[in-house]
Amino acid sequence: MTPVATTAPARNLLKTRELGILLALVLLVLYTTINNSRFLSGQSIRDNLLNTAILAVMATGQAVVVITRNIDLSVGSVLGISAWAVATMMSEHQGLPMIVAIVAGLAVGAVAGLLNGVLVRYGKVPALVVTLGTLYIYRGITYQWAGGSQVNADKLPAHFLNFANDNLLGIPWLVLIALVVVGGATLVMRNYRVGRELYAMGSSPQAAELAGIKVARNLLGAFVLSGALAGLAGVLFAARFGTVDASAGTGYELNVVAAVVVGGVAVFGGSGTVWGAGLGALLLTVISSALAVLDINQFWQQAIVGALIILAICADRLVAVRIARSLRKRDARA
């Protein structure tokens, strides 16, 4: 069975995608540090990594979904409902260990993601419509539940809030979790069969069905993963910021999709990597803090993100055209 692989030159083009982001990151950090050496200080690096952690966790799930040629716009609302649920739980049962909070967040998110997956697969409703609808529904549920109130940092147990700052061997827990999530997902997507299948589903949904791939199981899995990771992000959010109300996570879906697109995962599916999405998340966060340090008007940040998204899409299109051309040439020669 011939692998659905890309030709050697095309694979190099794809590699340059992630390398491109890495290069941009290095250049940016260098430029900012030259201007202000404090940018590479311990506290500053810590702050940057902590700020990235939550976005990277969500970008991982989103990358998997987008690779299958779908999208999940409900992640911001899932973060919100998970953050509220966990914060309420922890403020009422102060003794619960952190691991319970994490599992609770994962569970809430997984259920939310499952609903998305079921509607997409069995209801045959396009992912854009489903997740747009659940974006509204989950946010509405959170507001109904929370009313106008909030869980204040002074009501949460100390061990929960300290988790955000505590280290294991010098690395903050939040960052470790993010690394494990991004790294784990990258490994699975690259080395395991299910990863290959997900890419195939994104490249050509019909061909994947005909080839006997268990599309239903994989699709549900992708959405459950995205939801669960958004739920996890909700727990991390509550621990880091302490004060949670019904509006937590509003608008996050834009940042997550931006991180994923900038990181090289094409909206058309079938290409890109999870660690690229993680890099995208890091790049976006570093841009934000670099702007503050360079004393550039912070308001340029969103405009820059938008410009980067457009550049990323153009680059992906260029790569796709080149691959198509080289595949055609290879077929013509064969």
Q: Nearest distance from residue 233's CB to other proteins, in Å?
A: 13
Q: Which two tokens mark 24?
A: 């941009």
- Please answer whether residues 230 and 75 qualify as being in contact, where contact means their C-beta atoms are separated by less than 8 angstroms: yes
β-bridge partners, 47: none
Which of 137, 176, 194, 211 touches other proteins (CB under 8 A)? 137
State yes or no: residue 88 binds other proteins (CB under 8 A). Answer: no
CA angle 284, 287, 293 (to 5 degrees): 150
How far, in Å, CA of 167 to CA of 152, rounded?
24
- State which H helix or E strand residue 270 sits in: none
Q: Please report, as residue ranges, which positions from 91 to 110 form the binding site for other proteins (by CB under 8 A).
A: none
Dihedral sign, Cα of residue 166, residue 170, residue 174, residue 180: negative
How far, in Å, CA of 114 to CA of 118, rounded?
6
Q: Nearest distance from residue 3's CB to other proteins, in Å?
A: 27
State yes or no: residue 141 binds other proteins (CB under 8 A). Answer: yes
Pick the closest to residue 67 from 285, 316, 324, 329 (CA basis): 316
State yes or no: residue 246 binds other proteins (CB under 8 A). Answer: yes
**How far from each other are the two terminal CA atoms of the chain, in whole angstroms?**
16
- In terms of CB distance, is 79 or 197 closer to other proteins? 79
State yes or no: residue 282 binds other proteins (CB under 8 A). Answer: no
State yes or no: residue 128 binds other proteins (CB under 8 A). Answer: yes
β-bridge partners, 167: 172
Pick the closest to residue 4 from 278, 211, 288, 251 (CA basis): 211
Q: With contacts defined by CB under 8 A, name the span among 9-17, 106-114, 136-144, 275-283 that binds other proteins.
A: 136-144
Beta carbons within 10 angstroms of residue 38's beta carbon: 11
Which of 33, 204, 243, 326 touches other proteins (CB under 8 A)? 243
Which of 20, 33, 133, 176 touches other proteins (CB under 8 A)? 133
Q: Please report, as residue ranges, which positions from 31 to 60 form the binding site for other proteins (by CB under 8 A).
A: 38-39, 42-44, 47, 51
Q: Helix, strand or coil for residue 301?
A: helix
Q: Nearest distance from residue 156's CB to other proteins, in Å?
A: 11
Amino acid identity, residue 26?
A: V
Q: Nearest distance from residue 56's CB to other proteins, in Å?
A: 17
Q: With contacts defined by CB under 8 A, name the span among 95-103, 227-235, 305-313, 326-334 that binds other proteins.
A: 305-313
Number of residues that bind other proteins (CB under 8 A): 71
- In terms of CB distance, is 73 or 197 closer to other proteins? 73
State yes or no: residue 281 binds other proteins (CB under 8 A). Answer: no
Which of 6, 203, 204, 301 touches other proteins (CB under 8 A)? 301
Q: Please report, as residue ranges, which positions from 12 to 31 form the binding site for other proteins (by CB under 8 A).
A: none
Which of 3, 95, 148, 212 touches other proteins (CB under 8 A)? 148
How many Å separate Cα 199 from the centre of its chain?
A: 17
State yes or no: residue 90 binds other proteins (CB under 8 A). Answer: no
